Structure 1
Amino acid sequence: MHWASEFYTGKTVLVVGGSSGIGRGIAAAFRDAGATVFATGATDAEVDAAAATAGIAFHQLDVRSAEAVEAFASQFGPIAALVDCAGVNLRAAEFTEDGFTTTLDINLTGAMRLATAFRPRLAGGGAMLAIGSLYSFLGAPHAPAYAASKAGLVGLVKSLAVAFAPEGTRVNALAPGWIETAMTAVPRANPARFAELSARIPIGRWGTPDDLAPPALFLCSPLAAYITGAVLSVDGGYLVA
């Protein structure tokens, strides 16, 4: 994606939840476009596991802590893009109060903590990109908190887009479909469920983190200067099938 180097060479980009999966794929794409990329993992173990990825500076950050997020943000000057990929899907545990509140705290309230802390550093032309889900639009009987948090994230993105627009900051979201990551290991390991899901994808395959990178680069770039408050589905056509 050499086109992106025009927009990101020498710019600072932060990918929260960038130590694995979709986040790491997006972080690598910004790196390859010439950006100075920082990425975070929720635990030291996640950071250590990702540390071998060249050209990305990894740090530990728990988005459940407002104090930690504020302290981390204070280390940055202006940034071109903040991409929030931090998220969990606890499935059956989400039917407990603790599991439900933990999921919302990370997936939704964590996004608001990041937006609040990094707002001054995005002003004047920066972009924030959140990662939603198919379950921003669909019910998830197996993961009610995950679906609630991702639906709420769409509302948050639209609200922040309006609030931040006078400062020159755009706020958008991607809604990934069925992507081959650790989070989807359970349905991929179930032959019947895997076949059911695959049959509904018009493009005929599951996505990979690399499929999310070009839309992320686009929405955070000046090519999308007139786009804010948008949610772009990257799902191989799943939602329209």
Structure 2
Amino acid sequence: MSAGGLFDLTGQTAVVTGARRGIGLAMAVALADAGADIIGVSANLEPEGSVVEKRVNELGRRFTGIRADFADRAAVRKLAGELTDSGPIDILVNNGGTIARTPAAEHPDDMWDQVIEVNLSSQFVLSREIGRAMIERGSGKIIFTASLLSFQGGINVPGYTASKSGIAGLTKALANEWAPLGVNVNAIAPGYIATDNTQALQDDAVREKSILDRIPAARWGQAEDLAGSAVFLASRASDYVNGVVLPVDGGWLGR
């Protein structure tokens, strides 16, 4: 089989959450470029004319947009039902997420609850429901977006760190159960990527310098730097890859 064939996603359908911008947008476009039709889900996704819709359509692939609030458990269950009823989902990219920056001693319960619900609980519910259908078919790829804080503690983001550490554990737990049933479950751990979520760090001259000084690649990552990893984990090239949390971090963790 050629290298191109290993990464070919033609005829497959991929659900990408958090697809409106940033990393989710880059992943959705990369999967479409490899041949997949895309169902994009975001809390604030425009009904028509979104950037992700335009870019997927330009690649000749179909795009369906769905708006869903991942902080609302009932909405996530409804979304899962709609997706499983719509036809086979070959690839699920659990990328939707949020972050809240407040020192732990002042971190309120409602902030903690929202971050855990969006970043961890909703992703388990969606994976459970779509994963069940994948198990019945004997095939499927699930990709989580983890974080460097799946490995480290971070500063002023206790809820986010807990949620992303949970994602690393959930990735392994699901892989242990589902690998023998034909479903690959893995995660990508982005490094410091220049997106809205990291804008506060980019704007802090002291923090930004300390970050750049540690990255061997000597630059912030771009959302497009996640594209290749997403296609790899969604494709036949990763058929024997299970339970991996893959850092894409410019060498940060190796420092």
The alignment's TM-score, normalised by the length of structure 2, stands at 0.87
Structure 1 Cα separation of the partners of residues 7 and 155 of structure 2:
44
SS state of the match for residue 85, structure 2? coil
Structure 2 Cα separation of the partners of residues 114 and 214 of structure 1:
24
Which residue among 184, 190, 196 is the counterpart of 2:198? 184
8 Å Cα contact 2:146-2:188 kept in structure 1: yes
Counterpart amino acid of residue 3 in structure 1: G
Match of residue 64 from structure 2: 57
The equivalences for 1:133-144 within 5 A come to 133-144=147-158
Match of residue 116 from structure 1: 128
Distance 1:224-1:127 versus aligned 2 partners, 3 A rule: same
Structure 2 Cα separation of the partners of residues 54 and 36 of structure 1:
8
SS state of the match for residue 112, structure 1? helix
**Structure 2: 5+ residue stretches without partners:** 58-62
Match of residue 75 from structure 1: 85
Length, aligned pairs only: 240
1:19 matched to 2:20? The reply is yes
Match of residue 216 from structure 1: 230
8 Å Cα contact 1:136-1:152 kept in structure 2: yes
Structure 2 Cα separation of the partners of residues 137 and 6 of structure 1:
29
Tell me by how many angstroms 1:104 deviates.
0.3
The equivalences for 1:1-241 within 5 A come to 3=4, 7-44=8-45, 49-50=50-51, 51-55=53-57, 56-63=63-70, 64-65=72-73, 66-92=76-102, 95-123=107-135, 124-241=138-255
Range with greater deviation from structure 2 (181-190 or 68-77):
68-77
Match of residue 60 from structure 2: none
SS state of the match for residue 187, structure 1? helix
Structure 2 Cα separation of the partners of residues 120 and 7 of structure 1:
24
8 Å Cα contact 2:77-2:126 kept in structure 1: no
8 Å Cα contact 1:76-1:121 kept in structure 2: no
Structure 2 Cα separation of the partners of residues 98 and 4 of structure 1:
47
**Structure 1: 5+ residue stretches without partners:** none
Range with greater deviation from structure 2 (157-166 or 43-52):
43-52
Tell me by how many angstroms 1:213 deviates.
0.8
